[in-house]
Amino acid sequence: MPPRTPLRVRARQMASRWAPAAPLMLLVSYCLIAPIIVLVLQAFWVNGAPSLELWGRVLGQASNQDAIVTSLGLGIASATVTLVIGSPAAWLISRMFASQRAFWMGLLNVAANFGGIGLAFSYLATLGVVGMVTLMIQALGIHFDPPRSSSVAALLMAYEYTNIPLFVLLTIPAMSILREDWWEAAQVASATRLQFWRRIGLPVLAPFLAAGWLLIFTWTIGIYGIAYGLAGQSGGTAARLITLQIGTTLQSDVITGTGQAAVLSVVLLAIAVVSLLSYRRLLRRAMRWL
Amino acid sequence: MTAVSLRGVTKQYGTVHALDNISLDIASGELLALLGPSGCGKTTLLRSVAGLVHPDSGAIEIGGRDVSGVATRERPIGMVFQSYALFPNMTVRENIAFPLSVRRRPEAEIRRRVDDLLDLVRLVPQADRYPNEISGGQAQRCALGRALAPAPDVLLLDEPLSALDALVRGRLRDEIRRVQQLVKTTALYVTHDQSEAMAIADRVAVMNHGRIEQLAVPAELYEEPSTSFAATFVGSRNAVELAVVDGRIALAEAFSVPAPVGAAERAIAFFRPEDVTVAAGPGAKGQPATVELKVYLGATTKMHLAIPVEGGTARLYADLPSRDAASIDQGAEVRIVVDPAHIRAFPVPD
Amino acid sequence: MALTALPRTLPRSRPSLGRVLLFGGLFGYFLLPMVAVVLYSFATRWTANILPDGYTLDWWISAVTDSAVREAFGTTLILATLTALLDIVLVVPAAYWSRVRNRRIRTFIEVSAAIPFALPYIVIAFGLLQFAGIVTPGIQGTFPLLLLGHTAIAFPFMYWAVDGAMSAAGIERLSEAAEACGASPYQIIRRVVLPNIVPGIVSGALLSFATSFGEFAMVQTLARGVYTIPIWSAGEIRSYSGDAGAFNRLAAVTVVSFLVLFVLSGIVVYRNRGQIVRLLPSVANSEGRPTA
């Protein structure tokens, strides 16, 4: 029987295996992992016992139901618009000459990073009541009322500003999977361009595009800054979103509001977990042939 | 009968002549290899026949029909790519069926034809696997089956073996030859490997700088290279540059042959290592040389020889049966002779 | 042969009408808001006209001289810089150790990097506020808590960039080679590891900086007293009641924060020389490999 390793030695081995990563792991546990646990506990725990009481109360409120429906709808709409515009754009950019591609990558990068309050204001300056485009159209003598800045339509237009670039940046690497000689081999086999896309191009890319759609959907539901900025000028008439509901309860009354915020946070958490797992599955599926 | 005919085909990329006025006839049922170093234009030539490259001028006929304005998908061709280019989302069977299904042939006919082809390329057990589940050799056989599926007039093979390791390469090369002779298809085969070209082709076209240097059957190419490039590129040869004296060139006492036509001052002599006779011992005749290095290769032994000539040292190789080489040590002083009948000499351009 | 590397047929057919419309549309869509904000920051008055009625530097001057703006800008820069630095210090050793010593670190990091990737910042912020209130009430609502929060949400960017650089440099082999040459652990890190991953560290730092720079939800939730540019801007939008100047001054501030992001992205893209920049994981590790 080998002699037992003394505790002290084992502790030192342990330290040498983990020590350099320990500070990061502490930070992550403190700022990311523990908060999730706290939220889940708060949502399912009332007066020291597990309970669904909060859920019934929060989900029973019309405003919260409204927020959940609007958020999901906005997520689906935004991700779909992004997919339709972003997929061809990503494909074409991936096949551009280096200099042209660099230009578009630069532009997309800037746009993708330009979110939050700054984007909300830019939207107001473009399509708000006194926005540039609004004024331009009116100067042409056309009667034009821009969509209310906090309406779903306005949110959609503002969100696309970062969603399309994000989607393109996300899917461009996948585009390189389609190889030039597949297209050549398809031509030699007498396939038309349409047949190539239908039988080879799209089947190969589809899981990647679906994964992109899913991420955009998830991120869109989680957007807060842009929505907060755009909701700013319309007070009570703003579109209700899950994130805004959370923010409002936090801003207004921390004591009574935490229950609602916790429940809505757990709703977002559930969406995030489901979409992350589906995302992994999709990518595994995408890689199946490669 | 001519299956493929090229007339004055020219293609330029910027200032580079990828194809320089190429004319070539491929007989029906023939396998013609395009052999040359990278950048010699052989792939461009193949891709021109496929319609994937559009020549600047010249005409290409397949089966007597001018295909210059014909899109790739309408040409009667099959093509095997260097990287296989199998469609990853389709099984072996679906890949082979693809050319037939895009032509909308009846299901039953497709199934019959694909079964025959699977049998032909010996992939019946792998028929329902995906490309990432089969080996490189199997992938290339699948690509061959796909290329042959529509019964093309000409089969184009673009370095089909270069992505495979040496052992598989030899076997698959013979496999391709077997299948090609069985289905009696005309084939154009691009390779940079001279032994592969010799082994598989009915005729070999040696290409360099967008031109065909020599077009010959393998044995002729090996024995009688017609240009200095063909001589260097085909077979491993000793090359010695020599001065022309009194209409002859000579490497001291090893050999002396008439200078080639057109050589005013200098000529280059080519001879193969196996044509160098090495002898040791007091009775030996010929040019004195030193064995610098002896490399045992199994049946033969390669000797690196150094010969003192005016102004320096000439180095050349000799291949000996290992039994004969056993008695000669590294560092030994030997005498060498080259049979003049096996020497090919070409003028050195000024 | 060598020439087959030239562009081929699949993507480059003639520029079709559809393509012109797509890229023209995208270009306009991306550019218009930027132009609008820039014009607003210089406009005297902008009534029902295509362009402003006149131009002035007044809004810029008032923005620059406004002490609230300057303070917010300073706070934002300090917060973003500290976030980037802290991420370097925390992430680089962990990433290195996960490669050369303990693969289980990697599992931990990759799972936790998914949190800020998928979970909205407002949720993380809310949870962190609650948790900090329980265990460390002393820093609840303070700048340090916010800094920790930003460091945590930006850490995946640093990790992906640094880990990518380590993978590209083959850092395990390099470390082994250096060790075989007799280098001490310190020498290995100082002379072999760091020089080879500098590009990754720089990209990661820029991305961490950018993440913190524009972040709004966490600042609003975690540190009530901390005024950053997004907080200031949101306040201006909320309190806007049509008074001349406020809108234009906000435009000037937006232009500046936009320029900062523009320069950051410019550096990241330039450093990658038109290569496809991978800001995100996901499909990044699924690059095209030859089949079979």
Mean pLDDT of the region A207-219: 94
Phi, psi of B157, deg, nearest 5? -125, 120
Assign C281 to helix, strand or coil. Answer: coil
Q: Does B230 touch chain C (CB under 8 A)?
A: no
What pLDDT sits at residue B123?
A: 94
Q: Which of B79, B88, B89 sits opposite A188 (nearest CB)?
A: B79
What pLDDT sits at residue A1?
A: 55
- pLDDT 10s digits, C129-154: 999 988 988 888 899 999 999 999 99
Mean pLDDT of the region C264-284: 55
Q: For chain C, what percent of residues have pLDDT higher than 90?
A: 45
CA pair distance A227, A159, nearest whole angstrom: 9
Local confidence band at C278 (pLDDT 50, 70, 90 cut-offs): very low
Instruction: Tell me the domain boundaries of chain B.
Output: 2-232, 236-347
Sign of CA dihedral A65, A71, A76, A77: positive
Asked if A184's CB is within 8 angstroms of B81's CB, the reply is yes
Instruction: Tell me the domain boundaries of chain A.
Output: 55-287
What pLDDT sits at residue A174?
A: 87
Is residue C8 pLDDT above 60, yes or no?
Answer: no
Asked if B18's CB is within 8 angstroms of C3's CB, the reply is yes
Asked if A186's CB is within 8 angstroms of B77's CB, the reply is no
Those chains having 3 or more beta-carbon pairs within 8 angstroms of chain A are B, C
Contacts of A187 in chain B (CB under 8 A): 51-52, 71-73
- pLDDT 10s digits, B17-71: 899 999 999 999 999 999 999 889 999 999 999 999 999 999 999 999 999 889 9
Is residue C50 pLDDT above 80, yes or no?
Answer: no
Contacts of B83 in chain A (CB under 8 A): 179, 181
Local confidence band at B146 (pLDDT 50, 70, 90 cut-offs): very high
Q: Which residues pair with B313 in a beta bridge?
A: B308
CA pair distance A69, A81, nearest whole angstrom: 18
What pLDDT sits at residue A237?
A: 63
Mean pLDDT of the region A160-185: 91
Q: What stretch of H or E contains A50?
A: strand A49-50
Residue listed under structure tokens 């132009």: C35
- pLDDT 10s digits, C69-125: 999 999 999 999 999 999 999 999 999 999 988 889 999 999 999 999 899 999 999
Instruction: Tell me the domain boundaries of chain C.
Output: 73-280
Q: Does A197 touch chain B (CB under 8 A)?
A: no
Q: What stretch of H or E contains C38?
A: helix C17-42
Is residue A272 pLDDT above 50, yes or no?
Answer: yes
Local confidence band at A130 (pLDDT 50, 70, 90 cut-offs): confident
What pLDDT sits at residue A100?
A: 84
Mean pLDDT of the region B270-295: 88
Write down the CATH superfamily of domain A55-287.
MetI-like (1.10.3720.10)
Assign B29 to helix, strand or coil. Answer: coil
DSSP of B170-213: HHHHHHHHHHHHHHT-EEEEEES-HHHHHHH-SEEEEEETTEEE
Asked if C291's CB is within 8 angstroms of B88's CB, the reply is yes
DSSP C276: P
Instruction: Give the distance from residue C290's alpha carbon to the nearest chain B alpha carbon, in angstroms.
Output: 8
Instruction: Give the distance from residue C78's alpha carbon to the nearest chain B alpha carbon, in angstroms.
Output: 50
Local confidence band at C290 (pLDDT 50, 70, 90 cut-offs): very low
What pLDDT sits at residue C274?
A: 42
What pLDDT sits at residue A2?
A: 61
Of A243, A252, A237, A249, give the one whose Cα is nearest residue A224.
A243
CATH code linked to domain C73-280: 1.10.3720.10
Q: The domain B236-347 is classified under which CATH number: 1.10.260.40, 2.30.110.10, 3.20.20.150, 2.40.50.140? A: 2.40.50.140
Q: Which of A188, A191, A289 sits opposite B78 (nearest CB)?
A: A188
Q: Picking from A112-116, A183-187, A260-264, which range would have the lowest pLDDT averaged per residue?
A: A112-116
Assign B77 to helix, strand or coil. Answer: strand
Q: Does B18 touch chain C (CB under 8 A)?
A: yes
Please report the number of interchain residue pairs, chain A to chain B, with beta-carbon separation below 8 angstroms. 75
Mean pLDDT of the region B95-111: 94
Instruction: Give the distance from residue C3's alpha carbon to the nearest chain B alpha carbon, in angstroms.
Output: 7
What pLDDT sits at residue C231?
A: 93
Q: Nearest residue on chain A to C274, judged by CA atoms?
A: A102
Is residue C4 pLDDT above 70, yes or no?
Answer: no
Q: Which of A181, A190, A199 sits opposite B83 (nearest CB)?
A: A181
What pLDDT sits at residue B58?
A: 93
CA pair distance B137, B163, nearest whole angstrom: 9
Per-residue exposure over A265-277, b if at least 16 CB sit within 10 Å of its own CB, e if not: bbbbbebbeebbe
Q: Does B135 touch chain C (CB under 8 A)?
A: yes
Local confidence band at A87 (pLDDT 50, 70, 90 cut-offs): very high
Q: Which of B16, B38, B84 sits opposite C292 (nearest CB)?
A: B84
Round the average pLDDT of chain A to a whole number and report it: 88
Asked if C240's CB is within 8 angstroms of A268's CB, the reply is no
CB C246 within 8 A of CB A246: no
Q: Does A92 touch chain B (CB under 8 A)?
A: no
What pLDDT sits at residue B93?
A: 96
Within 119-158 of B, beta carbons closer than 8 Å to A belong to 130-132, 146-147, 149-150, 156
Q: The domain B2-232 is classified under which CATH number: 3.40.50.720, 2.60.40.10, 3.40.50.300, 3.40.50.12280? A: 3.40.50.300
CA pair distance C193, C205, nearest whole angstrom: 17
Local confidence band at B303 (pLDDT 50, 70, 90 cut-offs): very high
Q: Where are the extended beta strands (E) located within chain B?
A: 2-13, 16-27, 31-35, 57-62, 65-66, 77-80, 154-158, 186-191, 203-208, 211-216, 238-243, 248-251, 255-258, 266-271, 276-279, 287-296, 300-309, 312-321, 333-338, 344-347
Q: Nearest residue on chain C to B132, judged by CA atoms?
A: C292
Asked if A275's CB is within 8 angstroms of C118's CB, the reply is yes
What pLDDT sits at residue A236?
A: 54
Mean pLDDT of the region B113-137: 94
Task: Copy the structure tokens of residue B140.
Answer: 């290339």
What pLDDT sits at residue C94?
A: 95
CB B87 within 8 A of CB A289: no
Q: Picking from A145-159, A228-242, B281-295, which range would have the lowest pLDDT averaged per residue?
A: A228-242
Contacts of B47 in chain C (CB under 8 A): 4
Here the ipTM equals 0.90
What pLDDT sits at residue C238?
A: 85
Which residue, among B40, B46, B53, would best test binding to C if mutated, counting the most C CBs under 10 Å from its CB? B53
Q: Picking from A255-259, C176-180, C288-292, which range would have the lowest pLDDT averaged per residue?
A: C288-292
What pLDDT sits at residue C289?
A: 28
What pLDDT sits at residue C215?
A: 93
Q: Nearest residue on chain A to B80, judged by CA atoms?
A: A185
Asked if A122's CB is within 8 angstroms of C254's CB, the reply is yes
Q: What stretch of H or E contains A75?
A: helix A62-94
Contacts of C282 in chain A (CB under 8 A): 170, 211, 215, 279, 283
Round the average pLDDT of chain C to a whole number and report it: 83
- pLDDT 10s digits, A144-156: 888 888 889 999 9
Assign B4 to helix, strand or coil. Answer: strand
Q: Does C289 touch chain B (CB under 8 A)?
A: no
Those chains having 3 or more beta-carbon pairs within 8 angstroms of chain C are A, B
Residue C2 burial (CB < 10 Å; 0-12/13-18/19+)?
A: middle
CA pair distance A34, C43, nearest whole angstrom: 49
Asked if A203's CB is within 8 angstroms of B146's CB, the reply is no
Q: For chain A, what percent of residues have pLDDT higher than 90?
A: 49
Asked if C290's CB is within 8 angstroms of B83's CB, the reply is yes
Mean pLDDT of the region C250-273: 82
Q: For chain C, what percent of residues have pLDDT higher than 70?
A: 85
Q: Does C217 touch chain A (CB under 8 A)?
A: yes
What pLDDT sits at residue C182?
A: 84
What pLDDT sits at residue A255?
A: 52
Asked if C292's CB is within 8 angstroms of B131's CB, the reply is yes
Mean pLDDT of the region B191-210: 93
Q: Which of B77, B87, B149 sits opposite A182 (nearest CB)?
A: B87
